Amino acid sequence: MNKKLFVPIIIVAIIASFGAGFYVSNMSRPSVEEIKTVSNAELGKAENVDFSLFWDAWKVIEDKFVNRSKLDAQKMVYGAINGMLRALGDPYTVFMPPEENKKFSEDMKGEFGGIGAEIGMRKDILTIIAPLEGSPAKAAGLLPQDKVLKVDGKSTDGMSIDEAINLIRGPKGEAVVLNIFRDGWKDAKDFKIIRDTIVIPVIKWQMKDNKVAYIQLYHFSENSASEFKKVAQEAISAGAKSVVLDMRGNPGGYLESAVDIISWFVSDNQVVAIEDFGNGKKTEYKSVGYQKLMSYPAVLLVDAGSASASEIVAGALRDLRNIKLVGTKTFGKGSVQQVEQMRNGSSLKITVAKWLTPSGKSIMDEGLEPDEKVELTEDDINNNRDPQLDKALEMLK
């Protein structure tokens, strides 16, 4: 079964590709009559699609382009696919050739090279979703919602996410310079960041005063559910009486992990998330019956770096348990990506749906507003103050 991903765009090189070994220039071209049978009735388009214009343009390029002796047919195919994907208007739908598909799989398992920041598009501007805990990006001072204007001096205006990723990633130990603009600044600033091997942290916890289990969940990776189980059992055994679940800067990950973690806080067989495929079809995901934290008072910490699976958890626990959200508005990454494995080890990560909270609310591009809005300033960070956590602990007294 294909795993459903609510995946932020990790700093990983992704390019559009048909995969290895696909040669176009001299291949047999199907007749117009065969191609014109392609249609998309599900989207309400009655007209047939005529691909002859593509082949006409290809022929003109082969015959008349001034540097036609240097044409690379494979790169032209990649460019065509890239253009097709851009026409969808969805920055999260990408094709990954074998090498990049392998890197993506490694990233989701928890280790990869880069700066340790995850990026997305906000109003067509390349934006930091979250710097990962313990990463070079975090150490350099990047924050959620930082706008990336340049990468090593190259403007990101009009640049796709995958193009930016290719520029940002690089060999361990080498530097990349990001030109960053942050709300409240007069001018943009350069951040020089040394690339490193990135190990994605999963979870840690500590007992606060009044027996509050403070759980920091950094990512929804393949092993997040099992790691959360260990932490929950430790906290219960230690006598915890309430929980603060901190998902600030958590950019998401696997849907299955999100559903599993929600299941600790709610009763069995409750709808915790709804996939809306946009064609009338919806799929409900239900809790699986752990329930051991169901009676515990809880508060969730969220911010602009809380995205995708984090928003699923936050939306579900607020709808089902009336658990309060403290912090700032979440990112609004409410789409569902599914990875389809293709030939030759390539894959297509495609947006197949948007998700709804149990009450039917979509957070696509809107995010979740906190119940208690508490800002965390740069001055707070520099002086090790955490008014958001302080507010959550106060609410649980």
> What secondary structure, in 3-state letters, does 34-74 show?
HHCCCCEHHHCECCCCCCHHHHHHHHHHHHHCCCHHHCCHH
Residue 157 near residue 1, CB atoms below 8 Å: no
- Per-residue pLDDT band for 3 (boundaries 50, 70, 90) equals low
Q: How far apart are CA 216 and CA 57, in angstroms?
A: 54
Tell me if 63 is assigned to some domain: no
Tell me if 38 is assigned to some domain: no
Domain boundary among 182, 199, 216: 199
Q: Does residue 271 share a domain with residue 125?
A: no
Residue 127 near residue 302, CB atoms below 8 Å: no
Q: Does residue 225 share a domain with residue 189?
A: no
Q: Does residue 217 share a domain with residue 169?
A: no
The arithmetic mean of pLDDT across residues 15-38, rounded, is 30
**Predicted pLDDT at 124:** 84
- Per-residue pLDDT band for 33 (boundaries 50, 70, 90) equals very low
Domain boundary among 152, 183, 199: 199
Q: Does residue 235 share a domain with residue 360?
A: yes
**Is pLDDT above 50 for 331?**
yes
Q: How far apart are CA 111 and CA 217, in angstroms?
A: 17
Cα separation values, 131 from 124, 266, 364, Å: 20, 30, 21
Q: Which two tokens stand for residue 372?
A: 């208690």
The arithmetic mean of pLDDT across residues 15-31, rounded, is 28
Q: How far apart are CA 119 and CA 94, in angstroms?
A: 14
Q: Does residue 358 share a domain with residue 263?
A: yes
Return the active site residues: 308, 333, 337
Q: How far apart are CA 130 and CA 107, in angstroms?
A: 15
**Is pLDDT above 50 for 113?**
yes
Q: How far apart are CA 291 and CA 289, in angstroms?
A: 6
pLDDT > 90 in the chain, percent: 50
Backbone angles phi, psi at 133, to 5 degrees: -60, 130
The pTM of the full predicted model, rounded to 2 decimals, is 0.70
**Is pLDDT above 50 for 149?**
yes
Closest CA to 216 of 179, 182, 246, 178: 246
Q: Does residue 170 share a domain with residue 228?
A: no
Backbone angles phi, psi at 260, to 5 degrees: -60, -45
- Domain carrying residue 178: 110-199
- Per-residue pLDDT band for 43 (boundaries 50, 70, 90) equals very low
**Predicted pLDDT at 11:** 36
Q: Does residue 367 share a domain with residue 237?
A: yes
Domain boundary among 147, 182, 199: 199
Where do the H-state alpha helices sit in the chain?
Answer: 32-35, 52-64, 73-87, 98-109, 136-140, 161-168, 224-237, 255-262, 309-321, 378-382, 387-395
Name residue 303's amino acid.
D
**Is pLDDT above 90 for 114?**
no
Tell me if 60 is assigned to some domain: no
- Per-residue pLDDT band for 26 (boundaries 50, 70, 90) equals very low
**Predicted pLDDT at 110:** 56
CATH label of the domain that carries residue 120 = 2.30.42.10
Q: Does residue 226 share a domain with residue 189?
A: no
In the sheet that holds 242-246, the strands lie side by side as 203-208, 212-217, 242-246, 298-302, 324-327, 372-373
Q: Does residue 212 share a domain with residue 192?
A: no
Tell me if 171 is assigned to some domain: yes
Question: CA-based Rg of the chain, rounded to a whole angstrom?
Answer: 23
**Is pLDDT above 90 for 78?**
no
pLDDT digits (tens, 9 = 90+) for 188-240: 999 999 999 887 778 999 999 999 999 999 999 889 999 999 999 999 999 99
pLDDT > 70 in the chain, percent: 86
Tell me if 237 is assigned to some domain: yes
Q: Which two tokens stand for residue 285?
A: 């995901």
Tell me if 252 is assigned to some domain: yes
> Rounded to 5 degrees, what angle do the CA atoms 312, 318, 320 make?
95
**Predicted pLDDT at 35:** 33
**Predicted pLDDT at 47:** 59
Backbone angles phi, psi at 62, to 5 degrees: -60, -35
Residue 256 near residue 263, CB atoms below 8 Å: no
- Per-residue pLDDT band for 333 (boundaries 50, 70, 90) equals confident
Tell me if 86 is assigned to some domain: no
Q: Which two tokens stand for residue 387?
A: 């008014």
Count of the separate structural domains present in the chain: 2
**Is pLDDT above 80 for 76?**
yes
**Is pLDDT above 60 for 116?**
yes
CATH label of the domain that carries residue 243 = 3.90.226.10
Q: Does residue 334 share a domain with residue 241?
A: yes
Q: Does residue 254 share a domain with residue 138?
A: no
- Per-residue pLDDT band for 106 (boundaries 50, 70, 90) equals low
> Rounded to 5 degrees, what angle do the CA atoms 88, 91, 94 make?
85
Most confident range (mean pLDDT) of 61-65, 114-118, 379-383 is 61-65
Q: How far apart are CA 393 and CA 242, in angstroms?
A: 10
Q: Does residue 335 share a domain with residue 265?
A: yes
Tell me if 87 is assigned to some domain: no
